[in-house]
Amino acid sequence: MGEIGGHTSGFSVVLPKNDCFGSCGTLTVRRIIAVMRTQKILISGAGIAGPALAYLLHRQGFTPTVVERAPELRLGGQAVDLRGAGRAVVESMGLMRQVMDVALDQRGMRFVDANGRVRAEAPRGDFGGEGFVSELEVLRGDLGQVFYDATASDVEYIFDDTITALEHHHDGLRVAFKYASPRRFDLVIGADGLHSTVRRLTFGPESQFLRPLNCYTAWFTIPADVELDGWYLMHNAPGGLVASIRPGRLDSEAKAGLSFRSGRIEYDRRDQRVQRSLLHKRFAKEAWLIPHLLAGMEQASDFSFESMAQVHLEHYTHGRVALVGDAGYSPTPLTGLGTSLALVGAYVLAGELAQANGDHRTAFQRYEHVMRPYVSQGQELAPGGVKSYAPMTQTAIRLRDASMRWMSKWPLRSILAKQFSKANGIHLPEYPSEAAYKK
């Protein structure tokens, strides 16, 4: 429970001399727990990990605030897999029905050539529903919306702002914002993605921690004017080019993607005009549906462009700051485990803070101890990695397609089954909620 009578997480707790530990002792201890667990915690990022963490922290009696750089929730985005332990976290939150209501209805993935002929396919039911296309997939923006809706009435959200400085003190942090006045918080959690501001301010430049895969990808929404029959279609072209289209949740829209392999490219992450130009240059001579996708990209309001990279840190915490999700341990979309890692990380961090009654030093150590093995295996890429996702030659594309046709047979099945099983590679601790402490 921490130090009673000393300093614990910024709170000085001293028992009155006439306090008793007989019949009134239990009440006294509960009162101390209540004091220590009203900590103010700032979360940077309102994607998936941030609102999920806010929900879990509020349930444990903490007071979370979420700051988000964007002026509103970021809707759209690619589909994310809800697998294994990540799915178990959503179930423990009591939000599975809401997630199922916005889940995608799809049949699986098909690899097609330039003429649209199917060269290999991976049905949704493969590997017990945990294969290349998981049984439960949700658009990133829709999943974030579920967590936001579950917290909006209880959690303060600050949109269109960002953290600019963190000043550490023995009893908390003074946080400066780009627009809002400075405020004091007991803890700050970075759930702000691959290019985390909290990580940069606390741990140093991102170049120290990012391991690029030399692959760039864009996601955007286009009108649903291509017959997909429920399938996620992917086409590869020589030069490490990947184009894809899949059904959206709404009948009127489809989700498109364009990826290419390349060495480091210098570009302004805020300049979408330049990013779109890069994609036009890379895909200008390609066939299949690519001209259609490029045209749709120009009209897309939810266009995003990003480099694929993993984040590797010696520690996920420092002082009164912790990182969750891609900010601390991005595995890249190629693993299919980014959402599971983020949700499990939020669950463990909130649970350990509650178990430690707000003592961040104890909680952060436990958080690292529980998460590190799960993160390590979750960041292991599937056989072939980016070379399999974006082959460079026509021969390599044919070999990859052949391997996909054999994936349900020995020996590939056992290799892939091991990869997909990583989503369940952690025994989730059981953390009682605040309600349990009040009994």
How high is the pLDDT of residue 415?
Answer: 64
How high is the pLDDT of residue 384?
Answer: 85
Give the Cα separation of 308 and 286 in Å (integer): 22
Please name the amino acid found at residue 75: L
Give the Cα separation of 199 and 193 in Å (integer): 9
Q: How many CB atoms lie within 10 A of CB 260?
A: 22
Give the residue from 261, 258, 260 showing the smallest Cα distance to 288. 258
Instruction: Please give the full DSSP string across 372-421, using - where no structure is assigned.
Output: HHHHHHHTPPPTTHHHHHS-SSHHHHHHHHHHHHTTTSTTHHHHHHHHHG
Give the residue from 337, 335, 389 showing the smallest Cα distance to 216. 389
Please name the amino acid found at residue 6: G
Q: How many residues belong to the chain?
A: 439
How high is the pLDDT of residue 124?
Answer: 81
374 half-sphere exposure, CB direction, 13 A CA radius:
27
Give the Cα separation of 245 and 240 in Å (integer): 17
Phi, psi of 182 (to 5 degrees): -60, 150
pTM: 0.88
Q: Which CATH fold topology does 40-437 show?
A: FAD/NAD(P)-binding domain (3.50.50)
Average pLDDT per block of 10 residues along the chain, 439 residues long = 33 34 40 57 98 97 97 87 92 96 91 96 72 81 97 98 96 97 98 98 97 96 94 97 95 96 92 96 96 97 95 97 98 92 98 95 97 95 90 96 77 64 84 55
Give the Cα separation of 276 and 296 in Å (integer): 11
Cβ(323)–Cβ(53) below 8 Å: no
Kindly list the domain boundaries of the chain, sorted by start residue: 7-36, 40-437
How high is the pLDDT of residue 346?
Answer: 98
Tokens of 130: 């945990």
